[in-house]
């Protein structure tokens, strides 16, 4: 899946604790909106807390996956 590929290429996870929820929420977002803006990504991912603070990499991976599916 493009999202998994982007997650690995951008090296999103640090500890991995939150990653399953992050990936599932990101997949749901991309299924509903194939070209999300930064604000839409932030809103969609708002309920998932990443203690490692990888939010910029999460956003980058979602954008990369969206681009890969175009």
Q: What are the residue ranges in the chain where pLDDT is below 50?
A: none
CB proximity list for 48: less than 8 A, separation 6 or greater? 18, 21, 22, 25
pLDDT at position 70: 86
Place of tokens 């599916």: 69
- Which superfamily does CATH assign the domain made up of 2-68 to? [2Fe-2S]-binding domain (1.10.150.120)
The answer to whether residues 30 and 3 touch, using CB atoms and an 8 Å cutoff, is: yes
Can you spell out the DSSP letters for 52-70? T--HHHHHHHHHHHHHHT-
pLDDT at position 32: 97
Structural domain boundaries in the chain: 2-68
Specify the pTM: 0.93
């Amino acid at each position: 899946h493009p999202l998994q590929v982007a997650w690995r290429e951008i090296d999103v996870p640090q500890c991995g604790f939150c990653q399953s929820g992050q990936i599932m929420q990101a997949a749901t977002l991309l299924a509903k909106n194939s070209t999300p803006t930064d604000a839409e990504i932030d809103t969609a991912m708002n309920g998932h807390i990443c203690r490692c603070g990888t939010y910029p990499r999460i956003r980058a991976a979602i954008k990369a996956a969206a681009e890969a599916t175009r």
